[in-house]
Amino acid sequence: MSRNAQLGDVCTIVPGGRSKLTGNDFTPSGFPAFGAGGLNGYLPNAEFSDPAVVLSSIGARCGKCFLAEGEWASLANTQLIFPDPDQVDVRFLWYQLDDELAWHRSGTAQPFIKTSDVRSRRIFLPPIEEQRRIAAMLDSAAALGDKRRHALEVLRGLPEALLREVLDSQVPTPAVRPLGEMAAFVGGVTFKPSDVRHVRTKGTVAVFRTSNVQTELDLADLWYVDGGLVKRRDQLVRPYDSLI
């Protein structure tokens, strides 16, 4: 039967960082060390071998939780929540606790979570087998989300990859040339506010401002000036090489 329980009744809660180790003790490899920012680095010696939920308990991200499994160590500014394995599945507990907005915070400039508030935090506890089943479903959903994000990253790089493939197929050894040999730089024109017409009339010329040129052209709010005020195009062209 499902029930509600306080963390202090079904978990052992201890402060992190009791070994007084800091980032100065990190090594290139070793045992993962969890601090208020998550996996912060590695230490030469393990502090725990039981799975736990590491709660970031001080700072702007207090309430963020991290899952620690295997052999690991802790740093300061954390609370370590060791569930009773006969009553609580650690992954189910992590999914339930990893919600920064659900934790009661004390303090203002430097928010923190009291140990007493950790112990009194209430959690939902279905039977242990149901907890494991739910945690497995959430693991699958998280893995699917990771694959979806990876796919989106690949798609974002697809246009550039396709362009490179086309260029490589057309020109086995693409020639690298200065941009100034293939294009001309056209500078902008300065107009007085009195030159600008907000309503388009016959014989006027559209003016593109920085607000019109974003990731694509935005023509919703074009300004216009008389054509006679626009300098000749050949007076605006400058060789690219002269600008560098």
206-220 pLDDT per residue, tens:
777 777 777 677 777
Average of pLDDT values for 130-152?
A: 89
Residue 77 pLDDT exceeds 90: yes
**DSSP helix/strand/coil, 124:** strand
Helix (H, G, I), strand (E, B) or coil at 178: coil
11 pLDDT more than 80:
yes
| Least confident range of 58-72, 94-108, 200-214 | 200-214
Q: What is the DSSP string of 125-164?
A: E--HHHHHHHHHHHHHHHHHHHHHHHHHHHHHTHHHHHHH
pLDDT higher than 70, residue 197: no
Candidate from 13-17, 101-105, 148-152, 193-197 with smallest mean pLDDT: 193-197
Segments making up each domain of the chain, as ranges: 3-145, 179-243
- Tell me the three state secondary structure of residue 41: strand
Confidence at 73, pLDDT banded by 50, 70, 90: very high
Domain at 3-145, CATH class: alpha beta
Give the pLDDT band (50/70/90) at residue 238: very low
Please, what is the Cα angle at 97 between 95 and 98, to 5 degrees? 70
| Partner residues linked to 53 by β-bridges | 67, 81
Nearest-angstrom CA–CA distance, 105 and 172: 62
> What is the longest distance spanned by two Cα atoms in the chain?
86
* Residue closest to 97 by CA, chosen among 109, 75, 108, 113: 113
44 against 203, higher pLDDT:
44
